[in-house]
């Protein structure tokens, strides 16, 4: 083993550890690896490392550009109301009962996700599912995991179904093999979709738990909370005291959520802030709590007298709603305090759900993450204003039919997507060319503003992909991928018949990929495993296509954890699930996918010597 191989394997292990550790964002880790490789390539003794120009050639890879174009096309479809319109089709399935509705939702979402980025599909369907579940009086948790899984089922069926398929196709082209066809994966994806749907139909009702959303966890009394603003009047005994020390909160029927001083929210825990004359206390209270606040000496919750120069204080019924930090939210990475949430959105955060936990205390210091579910309270006007924000998706939002100019845009964007699919299927042009041409058309026709289109691109995913492509190139150039493949073949050959080695190799490759994709980004997994798969096929003297297909399926089939796939992360918070819920449902489904894939792939893509 050369030092270059050891160095690259060290970078591989270090990046995997960082991805699992989660203290450093995955895209930052990937860029650090890229930078380290670029610097190392400059060293005069780095003979076996790829040159700087070879590392930079990853930017010529068509797959990331295609992924960016598909992000824009998906955003244009969303903006034109196409997905919303399709979502309204769920209105008529309530009469099918739980099992019939479950199958209809899974297949509908799978068909859409076969051609559109999974995340916006799931994000748009979540409010629909919540409303639908209330209508038929079944917990939404019974539908939300299947919703996410349905999007994964569909993503495996086509080349554009998920970014991992595009990346895998790019890797096989780089190895001198034909690109994956638009519907080539449907040969394995469609059977898996029906088998997965059948699994959820038969076992889902027992395995998927009954969980409550944040709003459902509130008692009827808590739902009747009021937002009350009180002020500290001159001569009050409360001046100079903190709320905690003053003892004014003697009941669970009320709590101070914020202190406004001179028009600005005071930083810190409101319970520990010394009060001053004129401070406005924002109180979340039930009716009994409002009565208690009115009885506190030194507080005034009645209308102020004009001659005292006091503003009118009002107590109004709070509209309670759940909101999810959206995929493109600018709030991610900031605390509620840093955002100045109440002043910005005129809503109070009552609770937060993340990774199976409900948080209700010290919320202002919690850093928000994409997929967090917030329980919010404010006026109806504030709620409606927030409904138009790109930062938060309100879960009471009903789907809307495309109207007016949206209909025109919907037709243009839909036909553009059909054009991409048709041109690739007929072999007229590569997917990258077709996707970029489609983006140019929808920009030219004004279906989406270029700025909005660029905002729709998840640049962190592209940074992750480019960094991992550089690491993959280093693994190939140094021979690290061949070394790992040799090790895999050596282990496989121990005590096994030569005729069975390709099947065992396929099974091991699928298993390792499936394990990694539950812990890492699926994009990172496919980029890291593809060089090993190609080397493995080369050592066995076989066509690499079956092995690449196995990576496509395994890297997408992330069912066993809520962190392995972004759609799982979103339904995790909204459905009030616990981590173990995904293991109970997803692990058996992973086994079903594994066994089915290992059986079907060699039949559909036979092992051929090269």
Confidence of residue 309 (pLDDT cuts 50, 70, 90): very low
* pLDDT value of position 377: 77
How far is it, in rounded angstroms, from Cα 9 to Cα 409? Answer: 49
User: Mean pLDDT of all residues in the chain?
Assistant: 84
By three-state DSSP, how is residue 191 classified?
A: helix
User: Reading across the β-sheet that carries 373-378, which strands appear in turn?
Assistant: 357-359, 347-354, 373-378, 319-325, 392-394
Per-residue pLDDT reduced to its tens digit, 525-535: 999 999 999 99
What is the distance between the alpha carbons of residues 127 and 394, in angstroms, rounded to a whole number?
8
pLDDT band for 316, please (50, 70, 90 cuts): very low
Give the pLDDT confidence score for residue 88 in this predicted structure: 74
Span 275-288, average pLDDT: 74
- Decide: 184 and 156 in contact? Cβ < 8 Å: no
Confidence class of residue 30 from pLDDT cuts 50, 70 and 90?
Answer: very high
- Tens of pLDDT, residue by residue over 121-137, are 888 888 888 888 878 88
Tell me yes or no: is domain 322-394 CATH 3.30.70.1450: yes
Q: What is the CATH number of domain 226-317?
A: 3.30.70.1450
361 or 32, greater pLDDT: 32
Rounded CA Rg of the chain: 27
Measured distance between the N- and C-terminal CA atoms of the chain, rounded to whole angstroms: 27
Given CA atoms 86, 206, 136, 580 in this order, what sign does their dihedral have?
Answer: negative
pLDDT number for residue 290 = 46
534 and 544 Cβ atoms separated by less than 8 Å: yes
pLDDT at 349 over 50: yes
Cα–Cα distance for residue pair 391/412, rounded to 1 Å: 27
Q: CA geometry: angle at 127 spanning 351 and 568, to 5°? A: 75
30 and 15 in contact (C-beta within 8 Å)? yes
pLDDT of residue 371: 81
Q: How far apart are CA 71 and CA 462, in angstroms?
A: 11
Q: What is the per-residue pLDDT across 173-214, written as a single tens digit (0 to 9) for each?
A: 888 889 999 999 999 999 999 999 999 999 988 999 887 666
pLDDT of 280 strictly over 90: no
CA 305 to chain centre: 51
Output the pLDDT for position 443.
96
pTM of the model: 0.80
Average pLDDT over residues 492-504: 81
Is residue 569 over pLDDT 80? yes
Confidence grade of residue 380 (pLDDT, cut at 50, 70, 90): confident
pLDDT digits (tens, 9 = 90+) for 93-103: 877 888 999 99
Q: Could you read off the pLDDT of 219-246 as tens digits, one per residue? A: 545 544 556 677 788 888 788 888 887 7
Q: How far apart are CA 113 and CA 273, in angstroms?
A: 50
Confidence category of residue 572, pLDDT binned at 50, 70, 90: confident
Residue 61 and residue 170 in contact, taking contact as beta carbons nearer than 8 Å: yes
Residue 43: CB atoms within 10 Å: 9
Contact 593, 192 (CB under 8 A): yes
**Residue 360 above 70 pLDDT?**
no
Domain locations in the chain as residue ranges: 226-317, 322-394
Backbone angles phi, psi at 57, to 5 degrees: -70, -10
Cα separations (Å) of 461 from 68, 160, 333, 389, 427?
A: 9, 16, 16, 23, 28
CB within 8 Å of 13: residues ≥ 6 apart: none
The per-residue pLDDT for 258 is: 75
- Give me the percent of the chain exceeding a pLDDT of 90: 42
- Give me 451's structure tokens: 């700025």
pLDDT value of position 248: 65
Among candidate residues 220, 346, 327, the one with its CA nearest the CA of residue 282? 346
pLDDT of residue 174: 83
| Contacting residues for 375 by C-beta, under 8 A, at least 6 apart | 214, 215, 218, 320, 322, 349, 350, 351, 352, 353
Q: With a cut of 70, say whether residue 306 has pLDDT above it.
A: no
Q: Which of 29-43, 206-220, 382-396 has the highest mean pLDDT?
A: 29-43
**pLDDT for 253 beyond 70:** no
In this prediction, residue 303 carries a pLDDT of 40
Q: Out of 351-360, 370-379, 509-518, pick the least confident.
A: 351-360
Token pair of 100, please?
């019939």
- In this predicted structure, which of 143-157, 246-260, 492-506, 555-569 has the lowest mean pLDDT? 246-260
**Three-class SS state of 317:** strand
Distance CA 240, CA 223 (A): 33
Q: What is the pLDDT of residue 238?
A: 81
Predicted local distance difference test score (pLDDT) of residue 322: 83
Residue 604 confidence (pLDDT) above 90: yes
Contacts of residue 232, defined as CB under 8 A and 6 or more positions apart, other chains included, come to: 238, 239, 275, 276, 277, 278, 279, 281, 298, 299
pLDDT tens profile 54-90: 999 999 999 999 999 999 999 898 888 888 788 777 7
Q: Is the pLDDT of residue 523 over 70?
A: yes
Query: DSSP code of 99?
Result: H
Mean pLDDT of 243-252: 66
pLDDT confidence of residue 355 = 65
């Amino acid at each position: 083993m050369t030092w270059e191989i050891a160095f690259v394997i060290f970078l591989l292990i270090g990046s995997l550890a960082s991805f699992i550790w989660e203290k450093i964002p995955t895209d930052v880790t990937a860029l650090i690896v890229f930078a380290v490789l670029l610097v190392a390539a400059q060293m005069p003794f780095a003979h076996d490392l790829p040159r700087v120009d070879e590392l930079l050639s990853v930017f010529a890879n068509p797959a990331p550009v295609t992924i960016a174009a598909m992000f824009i096309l998906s955003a244009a479809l969303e903006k034109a109301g196409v997905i919303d319109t399709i979502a309204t089709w769920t209105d008529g399935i309530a009469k099918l009962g739980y099992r019939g509705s479950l199958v209809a939702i899974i297949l509908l979402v799978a068909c859409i996700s076969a051609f559109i980025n999974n995340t916006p599909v799931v994000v748009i369907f979540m409010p629909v599912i919540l409303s639908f579940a209330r209508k038929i009086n079944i917990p939404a948790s019974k539908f939300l995991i299947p919703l996410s899984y349905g999007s994964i089922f569909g993503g495996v069926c086509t080349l554009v179904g998920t970014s991992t398929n595009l990346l895998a196709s790019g890797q096989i082209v780089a190895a001198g093999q034909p690109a994956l066809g638009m519907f080539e994966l449907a040969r394995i994806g469609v059977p898996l979709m029906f088998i997965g749907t059948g699994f959820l139909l038969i076992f889902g009702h027992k395995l998927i738990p009954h969980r409550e959303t944040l709003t459902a966890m509130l008692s009827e009394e808590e739902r009747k909370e009021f937002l009350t603003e009180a002020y500290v009047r001159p001569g009050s005994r409360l001046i100079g005291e903190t709320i905690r020390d003053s003892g004014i909160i003697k009941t669970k029927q009320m709590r101070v959520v914020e202190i406004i001083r001179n028009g600005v929210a005071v930083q810190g825990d409101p319970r520990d802030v010394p009060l001053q004359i004129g401070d406005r206390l924002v109180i979340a209270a039930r009716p009994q709590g409002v009565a208690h606040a009115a009885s506190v000496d030194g507080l005034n919750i009645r209308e102020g007298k004009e001659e005292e120069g006091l503003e009118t204080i009002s107590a109004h019924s709070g509209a309670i709603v759940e909101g999810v930090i959206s995929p493109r939210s600018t709030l991610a990475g900031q605390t509620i305090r840093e955002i100045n949430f109440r002043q910005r959105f005129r809503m109070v955060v009552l609770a937060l759900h993340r990774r199976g936990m409900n948080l209700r205390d010290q919320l202002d210091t919690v850093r928000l993450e994409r997929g967090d579910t917030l329980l919010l309270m404010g006026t109806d006007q504030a709620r409606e204003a927030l409904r138009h924000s790109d930062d938060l998706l309100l879960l009471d939002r009903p789907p809307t039919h495309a109207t007016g100019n949206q209909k025109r845009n919907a037709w243009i964007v839909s036909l553009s997507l059909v054009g991409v699919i048709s041109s690739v299927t007929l072999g007229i042009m590569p997917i990258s060319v077709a996707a970029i041409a489609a983006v140019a058309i929808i920009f030219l026709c004004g279906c989406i503003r270029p700025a909005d289109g660029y905002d729709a691109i998840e640049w962190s995913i592209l940074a992750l992909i480019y960094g991992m492509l550089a690491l993959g190139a280093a693994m190939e150039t140094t021979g690290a991928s061949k070394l790992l493949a040799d090790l895999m073949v050596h282990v496989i050959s121990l005590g096994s018949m030569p005729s069975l080695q390709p099947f065992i190799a396929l099974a091991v490759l699928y298993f390792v990929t499936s394990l990694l994709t539950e812990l890492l980004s699926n994009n990172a997994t496919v980029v890291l495993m593809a060089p090993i798969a190609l080397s493995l096929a080369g050592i066995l003297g076989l066509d690499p296509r079956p092995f690449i297909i196995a990576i496509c399926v395994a890297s997408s089939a992330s069912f066993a954890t809520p962190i392995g796939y972004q759609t799982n992360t979103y339904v995790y918070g909204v459905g009030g699930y616990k981590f173990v819920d995904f293991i109970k449902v997803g692990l058996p489904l992973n086994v079903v996918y594994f066994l089915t894939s290992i059986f079907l792939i060699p039949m559909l893509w036979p092992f051929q010597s090269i």
